[in-house]
Amino acid sequence: MHELSIAQNIIEIVEEHAAKMKARHVTEIVLDIGAVSGVVPENLEFAWEVSAKNTVVEGALLKINFIEAKAVCLECKKEFELDDIYTMCPHCGSFQFEIIQGKELKVKSIKIE
Ligand SMILES: [Zn+2]
């Protein structure tokens, strides 16, 4: 489950921010997670609970902002939504497309006190 290292990574980023802002507690973290980022939100939530113990984010509310994936077909130039990267253009059947949205994996905002 690579979500564990991702969760630890995110916590490090948040800890850095919190230290800079001289915050004692982080109350809320909002993450942007794209549908084809390779992260399963449920797994990340579980990994988060494990990793957050005894850190500045312990007890903070984790909000996941799930972003649908979109691609543009390089053949017919039409946009379409996709659930995973192993798909094809529903308009022309091409496997040549560029993902324009849905790879996001980042901390969008944090609330501190
Ligand atoms: Zn197409």
Q: Check residue 100 and report its DSSP letter.
A: E
> Which residues have CB less than 5 Å away from ligand 1 (the ion)?
73, 75-76, 89, 91-92, 94
Position 15 scores a pLDDT of 93
How far from chain centre, in Å, is Cα 61?
15
Helices 3-20 and 41-52 meet at what angle, rounded to 10? 50
Half-sphere exposure of 101 (CA within 13 A, CB side): 10
Cα 66 to ligand 1 centre (Å): 25
Global pTM value = 0.84
pLDDT tens digits, one per residue of 54-71: 999 999 999 999 999 999
For 35-61, what is the mean pLDDT?
A: 93
CATH architecture assigned to 3-112: 2-Layer Sandwich (3.30)
pLDDT tens digits, one per residue of 78-107: 999 998 899 999 999 999 999 999 999 999
